[in-house]
Structure 1
Amino acid sequence: MNSDPENGGCKGGGGDIARQIEVEADIDTAMSFTKTYQTPQREKVYSNWESMVLAYQSLGVVYGDLGTSPVNVFSATSFTNLSEDDLLGTLSLIIWTLTSLVLVKYVFIVLHANDHGEGGTFAIYSYICRHIHFNTKFTIHNTKLQPDSAMAYYTGGGHSPLSTRAKNFLERSSSAQNFLTVIVLLGTCMVIGDGALTPATCVLSALQGIQSRSSKITQDHVVWISVVLLVALFVFQRCGTSKVSFLFSPIMLIWFATNVSIGVYNIFKYDPSILKAVSPHYIVKFFMANGKTAWDLLGAVFLSITGAEAMFTDLGHFNKRAIQLGFSLVVYPSLIVTYAGETAYLVKHPENITDAYYSSLPNPVYWPMFVISTLAAVVASQSMISACFSIVKQSLALGCFPRVNIIHTSSNHQGQVYSPEINTILLILTVALVVGFKGGVELANAYGVVVIWVMMITTFLTSLVMLVIWKTNVVAVLGFLVPYVLMEGAFMTSLLRKIPQGGWVPFAISVLFMTVMMSWTYGRSKKTTYEAENKMSVTELDEALSSIYRTPGVCLFFTDLVHGLPPIIRRYIHHMNSVREIMVVVTIRTLPIKTVSAEERLHVGKLGRNGVYQCLIQFGYKDAEDIDGAKYTDHIAAKLLELTDDNSEKHKIRSSMQKGIEFVTGRTILKANKKSDMLSRFTIDYMYRFLQKNSMPAFSTVRTPSNATLQVGMLYEI
Structure 2
Amino acid sequence: MSLEVEKPLCTETTKRFERQDSLIGDAEKVSNIKGHGSEGNWTQVLHLAFQSIGIIYGDVGTSPLYCYSSTFPNGVKDKDDILGVLSLILYTLILLPMIKYVFIVLYADDNGDGGTFALYSLISRYSKIRLIPNQQAEDSMVSNYSIESPSLSLKRAQWLKEKLESSKAAKIGLFTITILGTSMVMGDGTLTPAISGSKMLSAVSGIKEKVPSLTETQIVWISVPILFMLFSVQRFGTDKVGYSFAPIISVWFVLIAGIGMYNIVVYEITILRAFNPMHIIYYFERNGKEAWISLGGAILCVTGTEGMYADLGHFNITAIQISFNGVLFPSVALCYMGQAAYLRKFPENVADTFYRSLPAPLFWPTFIVAILSAIIASQAMLSGAFAILSKALSLGCFPRVRVIHTSKHHQGQVYIPEVNFLMGLASVIITITFRTTTEIGNAYGICVVTVFSITTHLMTIVMLLVWKKNIIFILLFYVVFSSIEWIYLSSILSKFIQGGYLPFCFALVLMALMVTWHYVHVMTYWYELDHIVPIDEVTALLEKHNVQRIPGVGILYSELVQGIPPVFLRLVEKIPSVHSIFLFMSIKHLPIPHVAPAERFVFRQVGPREHRMFRCVARYGYSDGVEDSGQFARFLAERLKMFIEDENAFAVEKPENEDTDSPSGVFEGQTNPRKSARSVHSEEVIEPPMSNHVGRISSYSLQTIEEEKRLIDAEMKRGVVYLMGSANVIAGPESPTLKVVVVDYVYSFLRRNLAEGHKVLSIPKDQLLKVGITYEI
Checking the alignment, whether the CA contact within 8 Å between 1:389 and 1:419 is kept in structure 2 is: yes
Tell whether 2:278 aligns with 1:281: yes
Tell whether 2:79 aligns with 1:84: yes
For residue 633 of structure 1, the aligned residue among 622, 627, 637 is 637
User: Which residue of structure 2 aligns with residue 558 of structure 1?
Assistant: 557
Structure 2 counterpart of 1:20, one-letter code: S
User: Which residue of structure 2 aligns with residue 181 of structure 1?
Assistant: 175
Stretches of 4+ aligned residues off by more than 6 angstroms: 27-30
Tell whether 2:135 aligns with 1:144: yes
In structure 2, the CA distance between the partners of 1:74 and 1:536, relative to structure 1 (3 Å rule), is: same
User: Which residue of structure 1 aligns with residue 120 of structure 2?
Assistant: 125
User: For residues 379 and 27 of structure 1, what CA distance do their matches in structure 2 show?
Assistant: 41
Checking the alignment, whether the CA contact within 8 Å between 2:534 and 2:564 is kept in structure 1 is: yes
User: Which residue of structure 2 aligns with residue 94 of structure 1?
Assistant: 89
Where do 1:13-412 residues align within 5 Å?
Answer: 20-21=22-23, 23=24, 41=34, 44-76=38-70, 77-134=72-129, 139=131, 142-159=133-150, 160-194=154-188, 195=190, 196-412=193-409
Which one has the largest radius of gyration? 2
Give the C-alpha shift of residue 701 in structure 1: 4.9
Checking the alignment, whether the CA contact within 8 Å between 1:630 and 1:704 is kept in structure 2 is: no
Give the C-alpha shift of residue 703 in structure 1: 5.1
User: Which residue of structure 2 aligns with residue 3 of structure 1?
Assistant: none
User: Which residue of structure 2 aligns with residue 549 of structure 1?
Assistant: 547
User: For residues 513 and 469 of structure 1, what CA distance do their matches in structure 2 show?
Assistant: 30
Tell whether 2:742 aligns with 1:712: no
- Shifted more, 629-638 versus 333-342: the winner is 629-638
String of CA shifts for 1:294-346, please: whole Å, max 9, x gaps.
Answer: 10111010000111111101111111111111110111111111111000100
Structure 1 counterpart of 2:547, one-letter code: Y
Tell whether 2:452 aligns with 1:455: yes
In structure 2, the CA distance between the partners of 1:705 and 1:100, relative to structure 1 (3 Å rule), is: closer
User: For residues 122 and 712 of structure 2, what CA distance do their matches in structure 1 show?
Assistant: 43
String of CA shifts for 1:205-245, please: whole Å, max 9, x gaps.
Answer: 11111123322100111111111110011111112223333
CA RMSD of aligned residues (A): 2.3
Percentage identity across paired residues of the two chains: 36
TM-score (norm 2): 0.85
Give the C-alpha shift of residue 652 in structure 1: 6.3
Checking the alignment, whether the CA contact within 8 Å between 1:223 and 1:439 is kept in structure 2 is: no
Aligned residues: 692
User: For residues 402 and 534 of structure 2, what CA distance do their matches in structure 1 show?
Assistant: 35
Where do 1:465-476 residues align within 5 Å?
Answer: 465-476=462-473
User: Which residue of structure 2 aligns with residue 429 of structure 1?
Assistant: 426
The unaligned stretches of length 5 or more in structure 1 are 1-7, 33-38
For residue 725 of structure 2, the aligned residue among 642, 657, 666 is 666
Give the C-alpha shift of residue 666 in structure 1: 1.7
Helix, strand or coil for the counterpart of 1:448?
A: helix
User: For residues 79 and 438 of structure 1, what CA distance do their matches in structure 2 show?
Assistant: 17
User: Which residue of structure 1 aligns with residue 583 of structure 2?
Assistant: 584
User: For residues 502 and 436 of structure 1, what CA distance do their matches in structure 2 show?
Assistant: 11
Give the C-alpha shift of residue 445 in structure 1: 1.5
Tell whether 2:506 aligns with 1:503: no
User: For residues 355 and 83 of structure 1, what CA distance do their matches in structure 2 show?
Assistant: 18
In structure 2, the CA distance between the partners of 1:256 and 1:83, relative to structure 1 (3 Å rule), is: same
Give the C-alpha shift of residue 82 in structure 1: 2.7
Structure 2 counterpart of 1:150, one-letter code: M
User: For residues 185 and 526 of structure 1, what CA distance do their matches in structure 2 show?
Assistant: 19
Helix, strand or coil for the counterpart of 1:267?
A: helix
User: For residues 534 and 33 of structure 2, what CA distance do their matches in structure 1 show?
Assistant: 36
User: Which residue of structure 2 aligns with residue 696 of structure 1?
Assistant: 755
Checking the alignment, whether the CA contact within 8 Å between 2:54 and 2:376 is kept in structure 1 is: yes
Checking the alignment, whether the CA contact within 8 Å between 2:29 and 2:143 is kept in structure 1 is: no
Checking the alignment, whether the CA contact within 8 Å between 2:58 and 2:376 is kept in structure 1 is: yes
Structure 1 counterpart of 2:620, one-letter code: F
User: For residues 427 and 299 of structure 1, what CA distance do their matches in structure 2 show?
Assistant: 26
Give the C-alpha shift of residue 402 in structure 1: 1.0
User: Which residue of structure 2 aligns with residue 598 of structure 1?
Assistant: 597
Give the C-alpha shift of residue 249 in structure 1: 1.0
User: Which residue of structure 2 aligns with residue 480 of structure 1?
Assistant: 477
User: For residues 128 and 27 of structure 1, what CA distance do their matches in structure 2 show?
Assistant: 20
TM-score (norm 1): 0.92
Give the C-alpha shift of residue 581 in structure 1: 4.3
User: Which residue of structure 1 aligns with residue 646 of structure 2?
Assistant: 642
Structure 1 counterpart of 2:117, one-letter code: F
Checking the alignment, whether the CA contact within 8 Å between 2:140 and 2:148 is kept in structure 1 is: no
Give the C-alpha shift of residue 165 in structure 1: 0.9
User: Which residue of structure 2 aligns with residue 613 of structure 1?
Assistant: 614
User: Which residue of structure 1 aligns with residue 624 of structure 2?
Assistant: 623
User: For residues 343 and 66 of structure 1, what CA distance do their matches in structure 2 show?
Assistant: 18
Give the C-alpha shift of residue 600 in structure 1: 2.8
In structure 2, the CA distance between the partners of 1:662 and 1:372, relative to structure 1 (3 Å rule), is: closer
User: For residues 404 and 26 of structure 2, what CA distance do their matches in structure 1 show?
Assistant: 35
User: For residues 422 and 327 of structure 1, what CA distance do their matches in structure 2 show?
Assistant: 30
Checking the alignment, whether the CA contact within 8 Å between 1:582 and 1:653 is kept in structure 2 is: no
Checking the alignment, whether the CA contact within 8 Å between 1:581 and 1:656 is kept in structure 2 is: no
User: For residues 499 and 761 of structure 2, what CA distance do their matches in structure 1 show?
Assistant: 44
Structure 1 counterpart of 2:624, one-letter code: D
User: For residues 331 and 81 of structure 1, what CA distance do their matches in structure 2 show?
Assistant: 27
User: For residues 92 and 742 of structure 2, what CA distance do their matches in structure 1 show?
Assistant: 42
String of CA shifts for 1:55-101, please: whole Å, max 9, x gaps.
Answer: 11111110000000011111112344532321111111001000011
Helix, strand or coil for the counterpart of 1:469?
A: helix
Helix, strand or coil for the counterpart of 2:93?
A: helix
User: For residues 296 and 35 of structure 2, what CA distance do their matches in structure 1 show?
Assistant: 41
User: For residues 291 and 705 of structure 1, what CA distance do their matches in structure 2 show?
Assistant: 66
Checking the alignment, whether the CA contact within 8 Å between 2:29 and 2:142 is kept in structure 1 is: no
Checking the alignment, whether the CA contact within 8 Å between 2:88 and 2:298 is kept in structure 1 is: yes
User: Which residue of structure 1 aligns with residue 736 of structure 2?
Assistant: 677
- Shifted more, 286-295 versus 74-83: the winner is 74-83
- Shifted more, 158-167 versus 676-685: the winner is 158-167
Structure 1 counterpart of 2:94, one-letter code: T
- Shifted more, 301-310 versus 406-415: the winner is 406-415
Structure 1 counterpart of 2:291, one-letter code: A
Structure 1 counterpart of 2:725, one-letter code: G
User: For residues 427 and 696 of structure 1, what CA distance do their matches in structure 2 show?
Assistant: 20
Give the C-alpha shift of residue 446 in structure 1: 1.3
Give the C-alpha shift of residue 201 in structure 1: 1.3
String of CA shifts for 1:12-62, please: whole Å, max 9, x gaps.
Answer: 99xxxx9533x5x567999x9xxxxxx954563122222112111111110
Checking the alignment, whether the CA contact within 8 Å between 1:83 and 1:347 is kept in structure 2 is: no
Give the C-alpha shift of residue 629 in structure 1: 4.3
Checking the alignment, whether the CA contact within 8 Å between 2:165 and 2:171 is kept in structure 1 is: yes
Structure 2 counterpart of 1:682, one-letter code: V
User: For residues 430 and 541 of structure 2, what CA distance do their matches in structure 1 show?
Assistant: 59
